[in-house]
Amino acid sequence: MYDYIIVGGGIIGASTAWQLKKKLPDKRILLVEKESEYALHQTGHNSGVIHAGVYYAPGSLKADFCVRGAVATKQFCTQHEIPFEECGKLIVATNSLEVTRLDALYQRCQQNGIDVERLDEVQLKLAEPNIRGLAAIRVQQTAIVDYKRVTQAMVAEFISLGGEARLGIEVIGISELDDEVQLTCVSDEQTLQINCQYLITCAGLMADRITKMLGIATDFQIIPYRGEYFRLASRHNGIVNHLIYPVPDPQLPFLGVHLTRMVDGSVTVGPNAVQGWKREGYGRFNFSLKDTLQMLRFAGFWKVTWANLSTGIKEWLNSLWKPGYLKLVNKYCPEIRLDDLESYPAGIRAQAVTKDGQLVHDFLFSESARSLNVCNAPSPAATSAIPIGEYICSEALQKFADD
């Protein structure tokens, strides 16, 4: 019998397992992951940005986690010799409405304690000769990293402290009893049962299915939104010095394709946000009947789709029609041509949507007597993974202390 089992070997599960073992060295703790590698889903399919925390409401959990997470991630990378680059980010305004929104973001950065510099058109041209805009803000702390490597290093730390980690084990059923939790799992087509005192789940795209297995009444469902990228032809590896972001629409802050320098030296364009029809299907035309039917039966899906219909259609058309996608980038980087856009793997966001059709923008947790469950960990959760793990550990220690 384990004291704790943590389900999910993405960055949130890995961070939680490592920090819990550090706090409870004498407890038997197991991390289980259904895939044959760690970080194969959201954590391994993202933009690789260590965000500084520009967009989040001052005083919110998201702002606090992000600002502290960025510092902690860089420290962790330095300690573990994981390369990262503090290349900085420019948010570029291309019209007068965006300049107004840019100024609001500038204020927000100051409220969140982020070091930020405002650039006029001439200064922008000097900083980024290939970028066109009226004004920009420069956030120098923004950095890039490979989150798969960060996750692997967290799992290695967990194991070196005496934790147990097992790949290729999928949890397919959970029974919560008065004095233990029983997990039914499959591994290599064999069914096995693993028991623990307490359960922590960090299952990303499967978070709602795990809470359902626990019989917890919730009013959300995970809706998969694809984030599609292109990689620029290698002759453009030096096209920008910073990461380049458009000014977001405050109503839909996660939209807006950006130019991201990656740690391997390449530059990607993306991501967009289009409806996914398979939670863990990365190919453009991947489809799962089970995932789709579950979505279609959920009232929140119809409400959120209806409320964002015109944006959704635009994103979908630009996904199918490359020149439309190109136009989004050409707005601030006219250099790029159609044949510069090479294929690159997509990512899939695990977005919690409530029954009344609201996109959950913040972290969401659910619990039962013997479990704590991460139900929504949207971007910048990779940046924030260390404080999120710390938070989950302190919640778990408080909740389960008197048992």
Ligand X SMILES: Cc1cc2nc3c(=O)[nH]c(=O)nc-3n(C[C@H](O)[C@H](O)[C@H](O)COP(=O)(O)OP(=O)(O)OC[C@H]3O[C@@H](n4cnc5c(N)ncnc54)[C@H](O)[C@@H]3O)c2cc1C
Contact positions vs ligand X (CB under 6 A): 7-13, 32-35, 39-43, 45-49, 51, 170-171, 202-206, 227, 271, 347-349, 377-383
Smallest distance, Å, CB 320 to ligand X?
18
Nearer to ligand X, 7 or 333 (CB): 7
Find, among 41, 33, 1, the residue nearest to 282 by Cα: 41
Cβ neighbours for 293, distance < 8 A, ≥ 6 positions apart: none
Exposed, middle or buried, 335 (CB in 10 Å: 0-12/13-18/19+)? middle
Smallest distance, Å, CB 402 to ligand X?
28
Smallest distance, Å, CB 355 to ligand X?
22
Exposed, middle or buried, 175 (CB in 10 Å: 0-12/13-18/19+)? middle
Q: Which residue is nearest to ligand X (CB)?
A: 10
Smallest distance, Å, CB 282 to ligand X?
11
Q: CA 286 → CA 189, 272, 289, distances in Å? A: 24, 17, 10
Q: What angle do CA 286, 295, 347 make, to 5 degrees?
A: 45
Smallest distance, Å, CB 301 to ligand X?
18
Whether 12 and 203 have beta carbons less than 8 Å apart is answered as: no
Whether 228 and 345 have beta carbons less than 8 Å apart is answered as: no
Nearer to ligand X, 308 or 373 (CB): 373
Smallest distance, Å, CB 228 to ligand X?
8
Q: CA 24 → CA 5, 19, 188, 191, 327, distances in Å? A: 13, 9, 31, 29, 53
Nearer to ligand X, 227 or 300 (CB): 227
Cα separation, 103 vs 93, whole angstroms: 10
Cβ atoms within 10 Å, residue 341: 20
Smallest distance, Å, CB 135 to ligand X?
24
Smallest distance, Å, CB 287 to ligand X?
19
371 bridge partner residues = 199, 368
361: left (phi over 0), alpha (psi -120 to 50) or beta: alpha
Nearer to ligand X, 135 or 348 (CB): 348
Smallest distance, Å, CB 314 to ligand X?
18
Q: What's the token pair of residue 269?
A: 């364009």
